[in-house]
Amino acid sequence: MEIKVNALIPRQNHYHWLNIFGYTSRAQPGLEVLGIGHKGRAIKEKLIFLSKKRKLKFPLNRFVLCIEGQDGFEKAELEYLELPLLLAFWSMAGFIPIKRLDNCFCSGRLGLEGEISCLDLSSGHWLQIEQALIRRKKRAIYFGESIPIESERIDLISPLSLLEDSVGGFSMESGFYQIDNALARSVK
């Protein structure tokens, strides 16, 4: 199986588009995240941790995810690849009921307790994306929580709803949730 998804990450007051593509094979089972060097190791381990925490059983395949166009990014910027990588990985494994992500884009960080923090784009950036889609006569699906403009070209899917319905154990990250979560851990 092959998959492709588009990711949007922040960098120095701008946003950069990155392509993530992946495939499965019958080689040595496992997960590989390629294209971001040693920074990919932590993301790979987080994806595995989130999968094991939910007791997901994967087919005995090799899952390879590659990030294209990521040169020179810092670790904090690359954290916004966690959500698109998780969606691609779990889609290839059959846990998410979406098989084609070619016309989808997203950006977001994942917490170890299942918190999702989506990138917050300004209205100006949304208008640029909308205009580019109109010029190309295309539509897109955005995995995020809201779009601050009226859009005829961008459809919205909540990653929280998708992941909660598919595997469970996810929540949106907010200041109150983080504080409550930190307090609960410190009491135990």
Which pLDDT belongs to residue 58? Answer: 87
Per-residue pLDDT band at 188 (split at 50, 70, 90): very low
Query: Distance (Å, rounded) from C-alpha 77 to C-alpha 79?
Result: 5
Q: What is the pLDDT of residues 46-89, one digit of tens each?
A: 999 999 999 999 889 999 999 997 677 888 888 999 999 999 99
Retrieve residue 7's tokens.
């990711």
3-state percent helix, strand, coil for the chain, nearest multiple of 5: 35, 30, 35
Which pLDDT belongs to residue 95? Answer: 92
> 10 Å Cβ neighbour count for 78?
23
The values of phi and psi at residue 160, to 5°, are -60, -50
Please choose, from the candidates 147, 146, 106, the residue with its C-alpha nearest in 3D space to the C-alpha of residue 126.
Answer: 147
Per-residue pLDDT band at 173 (split at 50, 70, 90): low
More confident residue, 27 or 188: 27
Above 50 in pLDDT, residue 180?
A: no
Query: Distance (Å, rounded) from C-alpha 52 to C-alpha 103?
Result: 29
Which pLDDT belongs to residue 70? Answer: 65
More confident residue, 88 or 176: 88
Annotated domain spans of the chain: 2-187
Mean pLDDT score, 157-186: 67
Q: For the chain, what is the mean pLDDT? A: 86
Above 60 in pLDDT, residue 164?
A: yes
Q: What is the pLDDT of residues 100-121, one digit of tens each?
A: 899 999 999 999 988 999 988 8
Q: What is the second-level CATH architecture of the domain 2-187? A: 2-Layer Sandwich (3.30)
